[in-house]
Amino acid sequence: MTLLPGLGASAQGAQRASVQADSTHTRTVYVTEQSTAEKILAVPSTLLHWTTRPIGWGVICAERNEIPSRVEDFFWNDARTFGVFPTARLGGATSGAIGVTVRHEQLFGTRREAEARVLYSTPDNLRADASYTNPAPFGEASFIDVATTYRVDSDENLFLTSDLGFPGLTSSQRETSYRTEQVDLRLGIGANPRQREGLSGLGWGLFARYERLDVGRGEGRGAFRFPVSLPGVGRTTLVSTGASLLVEQIRGGRDGRPRTLSGSRVYLSYDFTHSLNDAPLSYHRLLGEWQRIVPLPGFGAYRRLVFRTRLEQLFPVPGAAIPFYKLPVLGSADLLRGAEQNRLRGDGTVLFTLEYRYPIWKTWDALLFVDSGQAFDEVGEIAPADFRWSAGMGVRVYAGSGVSLRLDVGVSTSGVRVFSKTGSSFAIGTRR
């Protein structure tokens, strides 16, 4: 490859005349050659550059004409305290859903917040949420949350594996579905360290939840094979109480710096659930998660690796059972992306994730990820040879308070899955 200064025709002619007239002036030409290995390594970068270039043109045009702020202003009132926003989701329990979100950030003239959201896919697949938050009842980092959810899903995935007591089934016999109708009410109180920057923060939460569920045969894949003998089938009322602890030391992610650039998080949670009806359903649940964000040496603060380890396990009370739909699962927008929805289910799950995140525009990040995990009944069953794998790429669009939009494409042996949703990656917190 030959590198020359960019000159016009007249300037080049003048330079040639000068070189001929004065032998003391010489022109040095630099010639470089890319090795075959360098050309191969440059292919992903080149493809990504040309694939995303039209998006870049659109983003630049939008920023120059202040289109995002103008669109956002359309949904907020003049004081920017009340807004009505369109909402959409791609992937997850259903292939897609659309809806609306209504939000008020200064309820009754105070800092209290209220939000209502509806997501609709079909008459038998919808979700409605409402929440009320007092963000600082006992101090700057404290909170009280009250929330409720109504959800209907007529086609929840279920794979009848040996972990559920169904050994020896063929792949065509394993896949079935079930229907869920759920109403719940949740109360949380605690403190959130994310109100502070820099030094290690300690957050905690206490929570309680009341649920009424009606679970039965689904209307989708192989619903006629759904085993109604599974624990939790029928009408059930569950009450849960628990506590959580969050310790983190992070840089970025708030105060006008949307990206989380470095740091660590440790999250621990325990809760106890039991049924109020005659069904003997009762269990303990433990969850632990560790995250580490590391900038790549020599590449600046914005190119970083994200490590994540997550372990969850349920323990039935002696003489009682765990509702099958409460068992930990892998196969979702956050857990083993690329696998079929709820593909792996057991008394426990373990997950490892590695992401490489890098900026492509001011408020946009691209990422490459690898997920690996296993469902099990006993911790001693965990074995690397039994792990399932998925890999893929994604995009994050940031707002000043965190990630506002996620788009992931995951690939596994079961196919390709696409997820789009709002919310932070690997979101953990003392609220529940």
pLDDT, average across residues 38-57: 70
CB atoms under 10 Å from CB of 9, counted, come to: 7
Q: Which helix (H) or strand (E) holds 71?
A: helix 67-75
Which residues partner with 270 through β-bridges? 243, 286
The 8-class DSSP code of residue 278 comes to: S
259 contact partners, CB below 8 Å, separation of at least 6: 252, 253, 302, 357, 359, 365, 398
What is the C-alpha to C-alpha distance for residues 253 and 213, in angstroms, rounded to an integer?
A: 37
386 contact partners, CB below 8 Å, separation of at least 6: 374
**Helix, strand, coil tally for the chain in percent (to 5):** 20, 50, 30
What is the C-alpha to C-alpha distance for residues 135 and 118, in angstroms, rounded to an integer?
A: 23
Dump pLDDT digits (tens) for 174-197: 788 899 999 999 999 998 876 554
Mean pLDDT lowest among 45-54, 76-85, 103-112: 45-54
What is the C-alpha to C-alpha distance for residues 120 and 381, in angstroms, rounded to an integer?
A: 40
Position with higher pLDDT, 7 vs 201? 201
pLDDT of residue 49: 67
Is residue 109 classed exposed, middle or buried when 0-12, 13-18 and 19+ CB atoms within 10 A define those classes? exposed
Give the relative orientation of helices 36-64 and 67-75 as an angle to the nearest 10 degrees: 50
351 located within any domain:
yes
319 located within any domain:
yes
pLDDT, average across residues 16-36: 53
Question: pLDDT grade, residue 35 (50/70/90)?
Answer: confident
Q: Which helix (H) or strand (E) holds 55?
A: helix 36-64
10 located within any domain:
no
60 located within any domain:
no
What is the C-alpha to C-alpha distance for residues 117 and 151, in angstroms, rounded to an integer?
A: 12
The 8-class DSSP code of residue 321 comes to: B
What is the C-alpha to C-alpha distance for residues 258 and 105, in angstroms, rounded to an integer?
A: 20
User: Which structural domain, as residue segments, surrounds residue 347?
Assistant: 66-421
pLDDT of residue 31: 55
Task: Pick from 1-10, 74-83, 411-420 the range whose average pLDDT is largest.
Answer: 411-420
* Contact status, residue 25 vs residue 13, Cβ threshold 8 Å: no
Q: Which helix (H) or strand (E) holds 208?
A: strand 201-217
253 located within any domain:
yes
Dump pLDDT digits (tens) for 166-178: 776 666 667 888 9
- Residue 311 sits in a domain whose CATH number is 2.40.160.50
Percent of the chain with pLDDT over 90: 38
Please, what's the b/e burial string for 147-177 (b: 16 or more CB within 10 A of its CB; e: otherwise)? bebebbbbbbbbbbbebbeeeeeeeeebbbb
431 located within any domain:
no
Task: Pick from 48-62, 163-177, 231-245, 391-405 the range whose average pLDDT is largest.
Answer: 231-245
Q: Where are any strands of DSSP class E within 319-401?
A: 329-330, 344-345, 348-361, 364-376, 388-399
* Contact status, residue 276 vs residue 237, Cβ threshold 8 Å: yes
46 located within any domain:
no
pLDDT for residue 27 is more than 80: no
Q: How many domains does the chain have?
A: 1
CA dihedral 303, 249, 424, 46 (to 10 degrees): 0
Q: Which helix (H) or strand (E) holds 12?
A: helix 9-21
Q: What's the whole-model pTM score?
A: 0.79
Question: pLDDT grade, residue 225 (50/70/90)?
Answer: confident
215 located within any domain:
yes
Mean pLDDT lowest among 40-44, 135-139, 270-274, 278-282: 40-44
Dump pLDDT digits (tens) for 390-423: 999 998 887 654 457 888 999 998 888 988 877 6
What is the C-alpha to C-alpha distance for residues 194 and 21, in angstroms, rounded to an integer?
A: 70
Task: Pick from 48-52, 56-60, 288-292, 382-386 the range whose average pLDDT is largest.
Answer: 288-292
pLDDT of residue 55: 66
* Contact status, residue 104 vs residue 131, Cβ threshold 8 Å: no
Position with higher pLDDT, 44 vs 147? 147
pLDDT for residue 155 is more than 90: no
Q: Which helix (H) or strand (E) holds 121?
A: strand 113-122
What is the C-alpha to C-alpha distance for residues 17 and 2, in angstroms, rounded to an integer?
A: 22
Please, what's the b/e burial string for 290-315 (b: 16 or more CB within 10 A of its CB; e: otherwise)? ebebeeeeeeeeeebebebebbbbbe
Of 283, 395, 344, 326, nearest in space to 48 by CA? 395
Q: Which two tokens stand for residue 144?
A: 């009280």
pLDDT of residue 242: 97
Question: pLDDT grade, residue 279 (50/70/90)?
Answer: confident
What is the C-alpha to C-alpha distance for residues 103 and 101, in angstroms, rounded to an integer?
A: 6
The 8-class DSSP code of residue 373 comes to: E
